[in-house]
Amino acid sequence: MIADMTESLISVIEGAGRFTRFSAAAVKGLFVERPGRRQMVPLVMEIGLRSVPVVLATGAFVGMVIAVQIFAQLHKMGSESAAGPIINISIVSELGPVLAAIILAGRVGGAMSAELGTMKVTEQLDALRTLGADPVSYLVSPRFLACFLLVPLLTIYSDAIGVLGGYLMSVRFLGISDYHYWHQTRQFIQRWDVFVGVGKAFYFGGVIGLICCYKGFMAEKGAEGVGRATTDAFVASFIAILAGNFFMALFFNNLYDYLYT
């Protein structure tokens, strides 16, 4: 029993060490071998452009659902006019970035780990080495960069459409006053809230890129191995997003207190 636990612990520590080394190599790769247009353009199309519809759909529904739920609670207390800031803060600093990241981890991260896993089991990673390319610099660094830069951008789209969805639901369908909705929102929402949301999105983008590429590189032989790598990539990204969101909320709150109080 204790021996098993010790073995599991050692395995987790070894895995963490491998992931840290892999991540460091991916970041170093950005400076050693700057990703070129030939690598970046397809990634921007795949990760950025093709994710826009799903991100917009997610954002719109998140905004509308939050509006419905917040309205239901505030209506009981007769405080519907406070809905605007609560809905919009939830969207821009918490639920918008987290849900956009989870959707992107499924769509983009899953595709990346499956692609790299397939490259691993079909010896394409070995072929890269024989042709003088470092697979981490060549494949992972550009994907990490694309996720790191594009996930925040997609989060901004998601937030914008979420704010719009929340507004339409609250004002057009639930009957909250247009004036009170925006007046209260302007009073309570600060640029800091938007900054926190986008700041989190950079972290989410980075971890999605690194975790999903790492899991792809670690894929075992065969279709089953690639399938398992893809599932592991999503689960690990999901946990990293939720756990990271918690720690970043603490971090940003402390930073706010340090800077403004």
118 binds another protein (CB under 8 A): yes
Q: Contact region for another protein (CB under 8 A) — 3-11, 83-91, 128-136, 141-149?
A: 128-136
* DSSP of 158-198: HHHHHHHHHHIIIIIIS---HHHHHHHHHHH--HHHHHHHH
Among 68, 74, 106, 124, binds another protein (CB under 8 A): 124
Q: Residue 91 and residue 94: Cα distance in Å, rounded?
A: 6
- Rounded to a whole number of angstroms, the CA Rg of the chain reads 21
Instruction: Check binding of 126 to another protein (CB under 8 A).
Output: yes
CB of residue 19 to another protein, shortest distance in Å: 19
User: Which residue among 12, 24, 49, 127 contacts another protein (CB under 8 A)?
Assistant: 127
Residues 187, 5: Cα–Cα separation, whole Å: 53
Token pair 């390319």: residue:
133
- Closer to another protein by Cβ: residue 118 or 177: 118
Would you tell me the crossing angle of helices 52-77 and 141-167 to the nearest 10 degrees?
A: 40
Least distance in angstroms from the C-beta of 134 to another protein:
7
CB 60 within 8 A of CB 164: yes
Interacting stretch for another protein, rule CB under 8 A, among 55-63, 129-137, 184-192, 247-255? 129-137
**220 near another protein, judged by CB under 8 A:** no
Residue 3 sits in the site that holds another protein (CB under 8 A) = no
- What count of Cα atoms within 13 Å lies in the side-chain half-sphere of residue 45? 6
Q: Residue 221 interacts with another protein (CB under 8 A)?
A: no
Give the one residue of 5, 132, 258, 260 binding another protein; rule: CB under 8 A: 132
Q: Contact letters (x/-) for another protein, 9-48, by CB under 8 A?
A: ---------------------------------x------
CA separation for the pair 237, 179 (Å, rounded)? 40
Instruction: List residues binding another protein (CB under 8 A).
Output: 42, 118-119, 122-124, 126-134
